[in-house]
């Protein structure tokens, strides 16, 4: 374990399902203090039940300033804890560029880039004031290996990746630890609406991503991994 691991207070977005839910439960099982955010009250209720109601739930849309404020306050509700933000919320829709609308494109930019940025912008000043904190952005291999039909998704994830690098360049000397987890295809509900997805049996599991997050949280305070690539055993599907 890292030398300050169990003093951490961890905020996980996108915790209603998929990777975010797996991370929230995995961190709670490891003994961490967890705050989970999502928009779906019924799914978050299921997560609460699985954690014996010990994970703190903040139901709300990250597009609403009130939700962002509530998440900030929950993250910093324990004065002596080390703050960690895990941006897991995201969406994906795949189609030929010309067949989608501008609104469709911009929705993915909003959810995958703008909303994580709003939350980072809200919590980062207090991280730096405390002498440090940790941000883990769940990214995508589509940021660095583009795919036809994934224009908005690739662009949004590439921008999130670049944002993480820029934040580190400006603030790592003030105690900021930040990692972008560049994920390959993972078996989550994101594929449910796709008529012919890749073979889901060959994908990463959400637990695989959680295991990487646990590894990052257990690093000593003197170490940081700027980015880490996690692919299925078979590579890019």
Residue 111 banded pLDDT, cuts 50, 70, 90: very high
Q: What is the mean pLDDT of the chain?
A: 94
The CA-CA-CA angle for residues 215, 216, 219, to 5°, reads: 90
Our count of domains for the chain comes to: 1
Give the pLDDT of residue 3.
42
The answer to whether residue 122 sits within a structural domain is: yes
Whether the pLDDT of residue 95 is over 90: the answer is: no
The answer to whether residue 161 sits within a structural domain is: yes
C-alpha 22: how far from its chain's center?
11
Residue 94 banded pLDDT, cuts 50, 70, 90: confident
Give the pLDDT of residue 2.
39
Look at the alpha carbons of 133, 164, 185, 1 in this order and tell me if their dihedral is positive or negative.
negative
Do 217 and 84 form a contact (C-beta atoms < 8 A)? yes
Q: How far apart are CA 19 and CA 27, in angstroms?
A: 12
79: domain range?
5-230
The arithmetic mean of pLDDT across residues 79-91, rounded, is 95
13: closest CA among 30, 33, 32, 38? 38
Whether the pLDDT of residue 63 is over 60: the answer is: yes
The answer to whether residue 22 sits within a structural domain is: yes
The answer to whether residue 235 sits within a structural domain is: no
Instruction: List, by residue number, the catalytic residues.
Output: 153
Q: Strand pairing partners for 57?
A: 36
CATH of the domain at 207: 3.40.50.720
Lowest mean pLDDT among 39-48, 175-184, 222-231: 39-48
Residue 192 banded pLDDT, cuts 50, 70, 90: confident
The answer to whether residue 237 sits within a structural domain is: no
Give the pLDDT of residue 21.
97
The answer to whether residue 236 sits within a structural domain is: no
Residue 193 banded pLDDT, cuts 50, 70, 90: confident
Whether the pLDDT of residue 6 is over 70: the answer is: no
Give the pLDDT of residue 210.
98
């Amino acid at each position: 374990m890292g030398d300050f691991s169990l003093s951490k207070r961890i905020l996980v977005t996108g915790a209603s399902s998929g990777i975010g839910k797996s991370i929230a439960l995995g961190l709670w099982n490891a003994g961490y203090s967890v705050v989970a955010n999502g928009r779906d009250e019924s799914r978050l209720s299921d997560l609460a039940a699985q954690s014996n109601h010990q994970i703190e739930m903040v139901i709300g849309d990250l597009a609403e300033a009130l939700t962002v404020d509530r998440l900030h306050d929950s993250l910093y509700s324990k004065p002596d804890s080390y703050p960690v933000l895990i941006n897991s919320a995201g969406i994906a829709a795949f189609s030929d560029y010309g067949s989608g609308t501008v609104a469709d494109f911009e929705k993915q930019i909003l959810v995958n880039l703008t909303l994580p940025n709003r939350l980072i912008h809200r919590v980062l000043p207090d991280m730096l004031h405390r002498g440090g904190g940790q941000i883990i952005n769940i990214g995508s291999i589509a940021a660095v290996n583009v795919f036809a039909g994934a224009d908005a998704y690739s662009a949004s994830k590439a921008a999130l990746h670049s944002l993480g690098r820029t934040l580190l360049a400006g603030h790592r000397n003030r105690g900021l630890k930040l990692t972008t987890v560049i994920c390959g295809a993972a078996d989550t509900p994101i594929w449910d609406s796709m008529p012919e997805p890749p073979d889901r049996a060959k994908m990463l599991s959400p637990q695989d991503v959680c295991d990487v997050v646990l590894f990052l949280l257990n690093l000593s305070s003197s170490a940081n991994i700027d980015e880490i690539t996690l692919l299925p055993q078979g590579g890019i599907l």
